[in-house]
Structure 1
Amino acid sequence: MAVTGQLTQTRESVVQRARDMRDLVRAEAAESERQRSLSTPIVDEMWSNGLMTACNPAIAGGADPSFAEMIEAWLEMAWQDGSFGWTGIANLPSSFAAASYLPDEGFAEVFTDNGNHVTMGGQFAPNGQGVVVDGGYRLTGAWNFGSGTGHAQYIAAGFIPLDNGEMRWISEGIPELMVAIMPRAEVTFTDGWHVQGLKGTGSFDYNVADVFVPAYRTFRLFSREPLRGTSPAGRMGMMPVTAAGHAAWALGVAKSMLDDVEELAATKYRMSDVGDSLASRPTFQRSLAHHVAAWRAARLLVLDAFSTAEAAVAEGDELTPAMRADMRVAAVYATDVARECAQWAHLAAGTTAIREGSRFERAFRDIFTGTQHAFISEKVAIDSAQVWLGIVEDQFAL
């Protein structure tokens, strides 16, 4: 019983760490947007309360959290502010992956030697080429939308290894794709982050040219063989963790808009309403019920899909293609529902929602920026459905 209680306390504390930042994040949201990266007080508090390392294995200063806890923490962060939440689903999974999969020498250099005080961001898509050389790779490439890099000490960069000019293959049809972890000083930033929404995420473009990266500071993108950590997430890989982050983020931003329009409704009067508040209108009441119910259903679907797969892996079962498809579809569906809820809330709020710098206006810009991401695109749903239908046995990128 004592162990169970201790684990419960740890799981609750990760979500609580995020919740405790509400006042600070609200106060700093405009400043983060102005400087196009999370403000220093927010980053400092994430380190002070342990949120920055919360998703790491315990040996890297984390809590080895469950999927449910990660989802609820990210949802809370996105509810507070879209940029804060997006940075959470960039920095935290990046350091989780590096801490879980880096070889021992790389882990010691990046984490242990820095007292686990390591913020990591970047782009895991294989937009670079790494020429295989003695002891590692000569890496060249350019990456866009390096989320969370504005305040990161180490930068992640996905790449394709080239051995004597040829790609390497894990198995038939599955190429070897790698992730390099580089100190910030070795990376050239070219800015590029002038966007409609998610302005405060520090998602800058960057590149490297013929930079040597030792093999011990690289790991396979689709690895499910963690060298550290006790949570099933490490044995499920980066794709489920990233999918959980996108689902939670979209749900969090949409929830902020649903909550705000519900609060506004009692005092919102439109010229055409002849003295009736927004809350008294049956059409608003019906639409509020529909969208809140849809949001709750999407959240439960996400928790069910990820928790079901997590439980199977925890029991020693294989993470099947169908399980991976279930999780990816849940993330796509939750994103679609969240976008619809946000659009309705924005329309229902009327002119209140268009005030520049307001929480409503910022959330609306954020949701329609974040949901452009390829990770929760229509293609992901199609790839997943093909697995369900038996058209293909597997889609390795799910």
Structure 2
Amino acid sequence: MSSRENQFPEDREANRAYLLASVESAADALAAGRDDSEQARRLSSTSVEALRESGLFMLKTPREVGGAEAHPVVQMDVIEAVVMIDPAAAWCMFITSAVSGASLAQLPDDAVDEVLADGFPFMAGALRTGGIARKVDGGYQVSGRWAWGSGVEHSDWVMVPVFCDDPPLIRALVPTSEVTLHDNWHTLGMRGTGSCDYELDDVFVPDRFATDLLGTDLLRGGALYRLGLPAYVVNEHGSFAYALGRLALRTVSKAAIEKKRGYLSGTSVADRQIFRRAVGQGTIRMNACAAGMAEALERMFDSAADGPPDPALATEAQAAAVWCTDEAVDVVSELFRYAGGSAVMLANDMQRILRDIYTVQSHLMVSDVGYESYGRVVLGLDPGGGLP
């Protein structure tokens, strides 16, 4: 594998500052593409190119291949910053970052060289294992259909977790040109993510592009890639949820000050005590989510310094992500009551936030099973492991 110059600082705080500056550099383009993404039901080309040029797709990529390999808490700050501009762009950013990081940590050198031959790619993928991989000479024949392919329509490569005989689960990486897309992303919210289904029909995947999904052997990268699933991605879902809550607080507060309500001599919603209470309490709740999520991640990440993370800490971190989502759903729902009649219009920002939070709360990663697993830890029982 040829060496690659790394633009990202290794120091944690310097890395954070660099990544947030990258968000700022892409902000105008992401804001400009936001409505187009919503209407087209896929991330706009303007937004895709802004994310490519900013380097934000490399958020979770190993340093050995030029990536940021950002600490999970740093990732939280970056995700929130992009959510404040465009939630759909933030979602696609962390999905491709996670797929890229997991793939490039395990792929052999020749496969990495091929993937990065034309610059850093846009990757898409799924968490839920599906399909069948049949071992053949030199690789696998893979067939199956997967859902929630966020950003897949703009991707260069697609990662699929597949059932197999030996090993029992593999992660296969294929060029998007070999994937059949299904235009079925007609949803309540998160419309701009283009998270449609995609399918492989007896596609050949060379051995160099298939890795053991349950394997612990890493060819590059540090503690981040020892976390495994779901610990590797829980920070993304937790931070996305409370960031939506904070976006709702900012949006409705601005409208409340500027807008008068009532049929005659309307008054500002901000003049109402009950609204002030909702904003104050909502802010405290979202701040608590951010702090609780970060604290759980710090301990979990530290436990992975020399090996797999402590299962109990990984389970706690997932439960924290579920909690962030539940709290955000409550806060956004309450704030929506004060958004006024204009909020029923599809183009209204508060309605879009409400639809988005209700859509992401249905994701597998923030299932109530996360609480149940953590309850086992609290009771002194084996937490189990893996996805709910």
Matched, 1:178 2:170: yes
SS in 1 for 2:304: helix
Structure 1 runs of 4+ aligned residues shifted over 6 Å read: none
Instruction: Name 2:18's counterpart in structure 1.
Output: 13
Q: Is the 2:151–2:195 Cα contact (8 Å) retained in structure 1? A: yes
Instruction: Name 2:204's counterpart in structure 1.
Output: 212
1:137 to 140, 148, 161: 140
SS in 2 for 1:310: helix
Q: Tell me how far 1:238 sits from its aligned partner.
A: 4.2
Correspondence 1:220-235 to 2 at 5 A:
220-230=212-222, 232-235=223-226
Structure 1 stretches lacking a partner, 5+ long? 169-175
Instruction: Name 2:47's counterpart in structure 1.
Output: 42
Q: Tell me how far 1:318 sits from its aligned partner.
A: 4.7
2:65 to 60, 64, 80: 60
Instruction: Name 1:270's counterpart in structure 2.
Output: 261
Q: Tell me how far 1:325 sits from its aligned partner.
A: 0.6
**Cα distance change on mapping 1:103 and 1:124 into 2, 3 Å:** farther
**Cα distance change on mapping 1:222 and 1:397 into 2, 3 Å:** farther
Instruction: Compare 195-204 and 234-243 and name the one that shifted more.
Output: 234-243
Which whole-Å CA distance do the structure 1 matches of 2:277 and 2:188 have between them?
31
Amino acid aligned to 2:314 = R
TM-score, normalized by length of structure 2?
Answer: 0.92
Matched, 1:126 2:129: yes
Instruction: Name 1:173's counterpart in structure 2.
Output: none
Amino acid aligned to 1:83 = A
Which whole-Å CA distance do the structure 2 matches of 1:225 and 1:277 have between them?
60
Aligned pairs, number = 381
Instruction: Name 2:3's counterpart in structure 1.
Output: none
Instruction: Compare 195-204 and 386-395 and name the one that shifted more.
Output: 386-395
Q: Tell me how far 1:41 sits from its aligned partner.
A: 1.5
- Larger RCO, structure (CA 8 Å, separation 6 or more): 1
Q: Tell me how far 1:284 sits from its aligned partner.
A: 1.0
Which whole-Å CA distance do the structure 2 matches of 1:389 and 1:263 have between them?
45
Q: Tell me how far 1:353 sits from its aligned partner.
A: 2.3
Which whole-Å CA distance do the structure 2 matches of 1:20 and 1:364 have between them?
27
Which whole-Å CA distance do the structure 1 matches of 2:213 and 2:307 have between them?
21
Correspondence 1:107-126 to 2 at 5 A:
107-111=112-116, 113-115=117-119, 117-126=120-129
TM-score, normalized by length of structure 1?
Answer: 0.89
Q: Is the 2:9–2:68 Cα contact (8 Å) retained in structure 1? A: no
Q: Is the 2:226–2:308 Cα contact (8 Å) retained in structure 1? A: no
Which whole-Å CA distance do the structure 2 matches of 1:73 and 1:16 have between them?
10
**Cα distance change on mapping 1:178 and 1:384 into 2, 3 Å:** farther
Correspondence 1:1-398 to 2 at 5 A:
7-111=12-116, 113-115=117-119, 117-162=120-165, 176-230=168-222, 232-271=223-262, 275-314=266-305, 316=306, 318-397=308-387
Q: Give the fraction of aligned pairs with identical amino acids, expressed as a percent.
A: 27
Q: Is the 1:82–1:367 Cα contact (8 Å) retained in structure 2? A: no
RMSD: 2.2
Which whole-Å CA distance do the structure 2 matches of 1:385 and 1:246 have between them?
20
Which whole-Å CA distance do the structure 1 matches of 2:32 and 2:386 have between them?
43
Amino acid aligned to 1:177 = L
